[in-house]
Copies of this chain bind each other. A is one copy, B any other.
Amino acid sequence: MSEHAPIDQAVAQAAEAAPLWAQASIEVRATLLRGLASALEANKEALIPLADEETHLGAVRLGGEIARTAYQLRGFAEHLEQGAAHTVVIAEAIAGTPPAGRPPLARVLRPLGPVAMFSASNFPFAFSVLGGDTASALAAGCPVVVKAHSGHPRLSRAVFAIAAGVLAAQGLPEGLLTLVDKASRGAGGYLVQHPQIAAVAFTGSYQGGTALWKLANERPRPIPFFGELGSINPLIALPQALERDSAALAHTLASSMTLGCGQFCTSPGVIVLLEGSASDGFIGQLRDALAPIQPHPMLTAGMRDGFEQASATVAANAATLLASAGNAAAPGPRLYEASAAAFIAKPALREEMFGPAALIVKAKGLGEIEQVLGAIGGTLTTTLWGANDDTPANRALVRAAENISGRVLFAGVPTGVAVCAAQQHGGPWPSSTAPQTTSVGYAALERFLRPVALQDAPAWALQP
């Protein structure tokens, strides 16, 4: 038996289930999504301790994450019922239009087929077995082959078993959701290159994501690859905001930086300030707010090591304002400072520190802040504090932020991504391999549909 036989079997099951699921009614799909949400909630007493053992994220956060994951599954069900997967654009026949008269055309949406989904380490529920990628792919009509994350293997199997029970209870084929775990080396690459896989959804590191993206592009027939990779999430705090309430803002920012031990793709990693006394005061308040915080242990020993390496790289190129060592399992908060000129000149300062750390970048003016954003180039979020007035300078700053970001915030912090139809989680490279799509919110469903034009088609062929 080949070392990849379990993957072959999982994909074969998914491929077999694909035609049936592509044709399943909205009602059947929505019922599955709601069934999965309820089953997850019904088992939370057992799942939370298991997840905490494997991830150290704490019961409160994990309970909240189950609520979010269930909310998201039900949200996709509602979105489906509003017609999201079945938009039809009709063009009636018109004689004489160039080039050759117009035949009757209907543009329909069809599911891509089996989706390989790579779970993330840092959201053991919301970006794992029953997370957003699975919910959106199932809603679109695509079976999902889950590559379990090695950081929470027992939880993955437990959630998968719950999902399998829901499929069985609803009389649906088990191939709609299959799990690849205890995987051999090279399993991820084998999965993305499997001929029957039609698309890939990935959430994780830049290194892991780009390696798989390259393998998907090296297929004889490349397929869509939706990868959400790293992001440094600049937060620009202008004097106008700081002069109003800098102590409260410093506490808010310190909480966002250290939330989940900084292990969020939206964690604010670069704080951009204008030179001046308001900024200097804020830096002191931020350092004071951070200093006493001891975050919970990191997800894995590998990520603990990775954070030390990443912060050492920044420290070698910047001044250190705070460097709490923390303990063996969890680093303490870190704060560094560099000039905008140095930030723009040194790519090492633009690398993500995945953990409770940020780099303060001091700029001489708004023009230099725009250059800082240009150097970042691609990020999930940019936050602008103090840019609410309608001035030419603020408009230019907002444009610079929009150019590089999937989401631009005018208040609050980027951690905590709302699940709704207006969300956009994905920005220019490297934050996403597909910056015109989102991996959070209901538009995520569109990633797994492809338009097909039906010309001179009989009415029955237009049905989903």
Contact = CB atoms under 8 A, between A and B. Distances in A.
Interface string A391-407: 00001001100110111
A222 B430 CA distance: 8
A435 interface: yes
A148 to B, nearest CB: 23
A410 B71 contact: no
Given A107-B423, A416-B99, A436-B224, A452 B406 contact: yes
B224 A443 contact: no
A316 interface: no
Nearest to A457: B410
Q: Please tell me how many copies of the chain the complex holds.
A: 2
Interface residues on A, range: 35 or more
A399 B452 CA distance: 11
Contacts of A403: 110, 113
Contacts of A223: 429
A421 interface: yes
A97 B71 contact: yes
B98 A453 contact: no
Contacts of A224: 435-436
A172 to B, nearest CB: 19
Interface stretch (A60-68, A181-189, A267-275, A288-296): A60-68
Contacts of A388: 458
A108 to B, nearest CB: 8
Given A452-B402, A456-B410, A421 B98 contact: no
A411 interface: yes
Interface string A434-464: 0110100101001001111111111011000
A234 to B, nearest CB: 15
Contacts of A419: 97-99
A378 interface: yes
Given A97-B71, A429-B222, A454 B406 contact: no
Nearest to A89: B422
A424 B457 contact: no
Interface of A: 19, 22, 64-65, 67-68, 71, 89-91, 97-103, 105-107, 110, 113, 126, 217, 221-224, 377-378, 388-390, 395, 398-399, 402-403, 405-412, 416-425, 428-430, 433, 435-436, 438, 441, 443, 446, 449-458, 460-461
Closest 6 pairs between A and B when the two form their complex, measured CB to CB: A100-B416, A68-B98, A91-B422, A424-B453, A91-B420, A105-B422
10 contacts: A65-B99, A67-B99, A89-B422, A97-B420, A390-B458, A406-B453, A408-B455, A408-B461, A410-B456, A424-B453
Given A107-B441, A408-B461, 17 more contacts: A64-B98, A65-B99, A68-B98, A68-B99, A91-B423, A97-B419, A102-B420, A107-B422, A107-B423, A110-B403, A389-B458, A398-B461, A408-B454, A424-B451, A425-B453, A436-B451, A443-B451
